[in-house]
Structures are given as structure tokens and as C-alpha cells.
């Protein structure tokens, strides 16, 4: 009789522990899915003296809030220092000629640098290497 009680108690303990494990897995599933990154489509164009270079305008899929400088590093060959880009895909600024890399965001001159700009869905980033008139 004692063996039957011991067997019954062991079975109940194992079944009870099995239910807890299943509940934890089910409870953690929604948390994992809510942590998925929100994606944004961003259009980037790069021009030198008014002519698009390389592949022209590109639509990139990035995480919402991604930093522009990081996105550029992922998709283009850059030379930069202290958050300032000095070359994109081999096209370098020319300080003597007054040509520098500048970018517009959604048709307007950006108010922050590429190292600070957080991208949103639908943004249009236009990089331009052109002479700055003083």
C-alpha cells in the first residue's frame, strides 16, 4: 500500500511540474513577439555634381529609429571621422574646391548630423557632393 501511495505522489508531482513548464512557455511567447523590431523603408540617393552614382536611388529596409550614419556604413563604403563623412563609395570631398558631402532629409537641409539623425518610415535622404558657395 505504501508503494502505491509513493507512486501516486510521485506521479502527481511530475504532472504538476509539467504543467508549470508549459505555462511558462506559453506566457513567454507574446513577450518575444512584442520585442521584434519595427521596420522602416528609407530611400537613399547619392549624387556627385548632380549625377547619381553607383546604383542610384536605393530603398533600404532598416529598423525604425536607426541612426543614418550606421545605415550608411552598412550599405555604402564610407570614410568618416567624428561623425562627418568625407567619402562615399570612393567619391571624396575636395576642400580646395569647396566640395563637401551634405545631405537633405525629405527635401530640406538636415538640422542634425548623420551620427544623430534617427530614421523613420518613408524618409528620403539625399546625399550630395557639391561645391558650397560662400
User: Can you tell me the distance from the alpha carbon of 57 to that of 60, in angstroms, rounded to the nearest whole number?
Assistant: 10
Q: Are residues 105 and 67 in the same domain?
A: yes
Predicted local distance difference test score (pLDDT) of residue 25:
52
Q: Are residues 62 and 116 in the same domain?
A: yes
Q: Are residues 90 and 127 in the same domain?
A: yes
Is pLDDT of 28 > 70? no
Reported as type and span, the H/E element at residue 31 is: helix 2-34
Q: Please, are residues 81 and 107 in contact by the beta-carbon 8 Å criterion?
A: no
Domains identified in the chain, total number = 2
pLDDT in tens, 59-92: 999 999 999 999 999 999 999 988 789 999 999 9
Range of the structural domain that residue 114 is part of: 39-131
Q: Are residues 29 and 43 in the same domain?
A: no
Is pLDDT of 9 > 60? no
Predicted local distance difference test score (pLDDT) of residue 10:
53
What is the reported pTM? 0.71
- The pLDDT mean for the chain works out to 83
Amino acid at each position: 500500500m505504501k508503494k502505491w501511495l509513493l507512486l501516486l505522489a510521485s506521479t502527481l508531482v511530475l504532472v504538476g511540474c509539467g504543467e508549470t513548464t508549459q505555462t511558462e512557455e506559453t506566457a513567454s511567447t507574446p513577450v518575444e513577439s512584442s520585442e521584434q523590431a519595427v521596420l522602416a523603408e528609407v530611400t537613399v540617393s547619392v549624387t556627385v555634381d548632380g549625377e547619381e552614382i553607383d546604383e542610384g536611388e536605393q530603398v533600404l529596409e532598416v529598423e525604425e529609429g536607426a541612426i543614418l550614419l550606421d545605415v550608411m556604413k552598412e550599405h555604402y563604403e564610407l570614410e568618416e571621422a567624428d561623425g562627418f563623412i568625407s567619402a562615399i563609395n570612393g567619391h571624396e570631398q575636395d576642400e580646395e574646391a569647396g566640395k563637401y558631402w551634405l545631405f537633405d532629409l525629405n527635401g530640406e537641409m538636415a538640422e542634425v548630423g548623420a551620427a544623430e539623425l534617427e530614421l523613420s518610415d518613408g524618409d528620403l535622404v539625399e546625399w550630395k557632393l557639391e561645391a558650397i558657395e560662400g
